Structure 1
Amino acid sequence: MTNGGIRRVLLVLAKVFLARGHRVDLVLTNQAELTLELPDGLNVVRFGTRTRRSLPHAVRYLSENRPDAVISGRAYTDLLFLAAKLLSRQKHCHLMWTFHTEQTMELAHKSRSMKLLMRCAYRLSPYADVCVAVSKGVARDLTRYLPKTARIEVIYNPVAPLGATPALRPDHPFWHQQDVPILLSVGRLVPQKDHALLLKVFAELRAQRPLKLFICGDGSLRGALEILAAETGYAQDICFAGHLPDLEPYMTHADVFVSTSRWEGFGLALAEALAAGCPVVATDCPSGPAEILDHGRLGRLVPLGDKNGLIQAISETLDAPKAVSNGPVDLSAYDPDRVADAYLNLMERFSKQ
């Protein structure tokens, strides 16, 4: 499991399932150390090897544990458990393949071998019980690749509820200067998130006004982005914080949440920022941000790659009173219990077929 949005989604779902008395296993195919907080009662199963060598372990797991359903979120794990189900003859086990990003854009940026794997999963998708798209945009895009016999359902990602008490201000020097606004970005440091554009936008804004940029996330581009940050001349006002397990304090006390993604599927961090009451500015990329922000009603949407548009939207959001710029937000569609109900209802329908 990586530290991205899929991880947060699966753990939120697991917590709800466990609270309702279901047994939940977290299956890991590699030896990666778990550095994240797991829900109480979650059973961790390690295959101890890479996915392509995990088939015997997956067959044994299905045969011995007989799970009612397997929820997976990557092409390689989709295919792994499809093969394991066929070999173990566990017909009662329902396969729920979840699609978290715009597939057209994913394909355009994957290696040749990964493209082949993804297209193989598309071809075999009718053998899954359901293909869950995390937004209507992802569902529309999926119809370009999945056979007509594949079953596609839209279930939004769950957004974890805020803590029972208001989050304290982060203990970071940026938040010690209460008169200097802070822009917040959350996402892996990969080409998809386009942090290079964010840094260019920040540099122009910083030339006009006191400002800080706090970036949560890690990834392959961190070194290159740190060099780019130094080249802006404002490195002292930019923090690469790495992965942070608890984002609520930062989202609650940031002045604007900014997303410069080239593509998404849902945009989990956007929804989390709205839940925390943080004003949002995002690129109108495929797919998810427009749905979450209700086509601009709940936050500012800027055309993809529009640097000047981002600068203007962020400036106007900073200058607006926070309560006015955010407004009332209905996030009931992302309530974890409601999302869990959608998955459980699908499983119940499967069991009756």
Structure 2
Amino acid sequence: MDAQKHICLVAGAMTNGGIRRVLLVLAKVFLARGHRVDLVLTNHAELTLELPDGLNVVRLGTRTRKSLPHAVRYLSENRPDAVISGRVYTDLLFLAAKLLSRQKHCRLIWTFHTEQTMELAHQSVPMKLLMRCAYRLSPLTDVCVAVSKGVARDLMRYVPKAARIEVIYNPVAPLGATPALCPDHPFWLQKDVPIMLSVGRLVPQKDHALLLRVFAELRAQRPLKLFICGDGPLRGALEILAVKTGYAQDICFAGHLPNLEPYMTNADVFVSTSRWEGFGLAIAEALAAGCPVVATDCPSGPAEILDHGRLGHLVPLGDKDGLIQAISETINAPKAASHGPETLSAYDPDRVADAYLDLMERFSKQ
């Protein structure tokens, strides 16, 4: 067993999304190995998620911009060996807290989960300033972790050469004990036509408007249903667009679902229409569930996960006709057997946890 460490995972507001799923998978592995793990939140939002046994939830008690005194106190009193953070505001918060608390032994690991160039282009002015501030200060942290090689290459454009960048893919939790469980929803309980599945927050990045246009053209050609998992600020506008397609009765906006596995296991095709990513966690989860994948070849992540088209269809960004053709071919083809464990070994939670623990050990000796 690894030498016991005290690891702090900073979740910020703990909103739904890929970063949250990544942190909880890591927490479960670290705890199973006997490490002490804190999950630090920056608000009082009620947690409705199932948390791993032994996970210590720490609330700093206020919004992030007012959390600095609480973060300093947390580091001074708890003295964690490492802090892993994945959002720019929590990165800067704990960098400042470390400097003020003088906890020199604490390793700071900033994780970058999206393509920075695209993210910068779509952020508000205050957020752009925060991001550029983080880039300039990145050499003061111990290491910056990019969740794909594409994110690492892009990140190098913004951080000083003195910043240390490592690539560690996100962990993908293994299938549960009942992967064949049927979703409790009429689309599946009365399944008589193929089902397209999409997973992602309803935000411009995921381009659900393109997804709906693609679905409408396919639905005009054949019986088909679309099941969308996720929530976000664009839900109202997308529901209106769904009505305008004329096929709203065949489209379900399911909102956030805590367990995606039954849907991925039983869907006929998983479709990602993202304009940009960092990794594409839902794509990897779909592969793990044995669901065929069609994805836009956006920067960065999908091409790496799909091995440049060997493990699924990659379609040029914004190519509606290409998406229609790839989805049709996937639905018409016999469902292939699930990929072997070696295909997804880079995302094995134990392997990913080993990589983070190795970082902590290496930088603790410097």
Give TM-score, length-normalised by structure 1. Answer: 0.98
Greater displacement, 105-114 / 175-184: 175-184
Deviation of 1:280 after TM superposition, in Å, equals: 0.1
Q: Residues 327 and 54 of structure 1: is their aligned pair in 2 closer, same or farther, counting only changes over 3 Å?
A: closer
User: Shift of residue 48 of structure 1?
Assistant: 1.5
Unaligned runs of 5+ in 2: 1-13
Question: What is the DSSP-based 3-state SS (H/G/I as helix, E as strand, rest coil) of the residue aligned with 1:338?
Answer: helix
Q: What is the match of residue 210 of structure 2?
A: 197
Q: Deviations over 1:315-347 (max 9, x none)?
A: 000000011797887100000000000000110
| 8 Å Cα contact 1:274/1:329 also seen in 2 | no
Shift of residue 176, structure 1, vs aligned partner: 2.4
- Report deviation, 1:165: 3.1
Separation in structure 1 between the aligned mates of residue 177 and residue 203 of structure 2, nearest angstrom: 33
CA distance in 2, matches of 1:285, 1:47: 36
User: Does structure 1 retain, via aligned residues, the 8 Å contact 2:287–2:338?
Assistant: no
Task: Decide whether the 8 Å contact of 1:317 with 1:325 is kept in 2.
Answer: no
Measured against aligned partners, the alpha-carbon deviations of 1:280-309 in whole angstroms (never above 9, x if no partner) come to 000000000000000000000000001000
Match of 2:10 in 1: none
CA contact (8 A) 1:133 1:155 kept: yes
Q: Deviations over 1:171-228 (max 9, x none)?
A: 1110123330000000000000000000000000000100000000000000000000
Which residue of the partner structure matches residue 297 of structure 1?
310
Helix, strand or coil at the partner of 2:221: coil
Alpha-carbon distance, 1:229 to partner: 0.3
Displacement of 1:164 after TM fit? 2.4
| Aligned-partner Cα distance in 2 for 1:176–1:94 | 49
SS of aligned partner of 2:36:
coil
Q: RMSD of the alignment, in Å?
A: 1.2
1:298 and 1:327 in contact (8 A); partners too: no
Residues in 1 aligned to 2:211 and 2:178: alpha-carbon distance in whole angstroms: 32
Q: How far did 1:149 drift? A: 0.2
Deviations 1:29-52 (Å, cap 9, x if unpaired)? 111121211111110000121111
Superposed structure 1 runs of 4+ greater than 6 Å apart: 324-329
User: 2:355, 2:44 → 1: CA distance?
Assistant: 32
The 3-state SS of whatever aligns with 2:228 is: strand
Distance 1:349 1:193, change over 3 A: same
SS at match of 1:137: helix
1:299/1:326 contact within 8 Å kept: no
Kept after mapping to 2: 8 A contact 1:185/1:216: yes
Match for residue 223 of structure 1?
Answer: 236
Give the unaligned 5+ runs of structure 1: none
Q: Distance in 2 between matches of 1:195 and 1:178?
A: 23
Asked if structure 2 preserves the Cα contact closer than 8 Å seen for 1:279 and 1:326, the reply is no
Q: In structure 1, what is the Cα distance between the partners aligned to 2:277 and 2:346?
A: 18
Please give the alpha-carbon distance, in whole angstroms, between the structure 1 residues aligned to 2:313 and 2:225: 20
Separation in 2 of the partners of 1:210 and 1:80? Answer: 51
Find the partner of 2:339 among 319, 326, 351: 326
* Number of residues of Structure 1 aligned to a counterpart in Structure 2: 353
CA spacing shift, 1:91–1:18, aligned 2, 3 Å = same
Q: Assess if the C-alpha contact under 8 Å between 1:302 and 1:309 holds in 2.
A: yes
1:68 aligns with 2:78: no
Matches within 5 A, 1:38-77: 38-77=51-90
Please say if 1:147 is aligned against 2:148. Answer: no
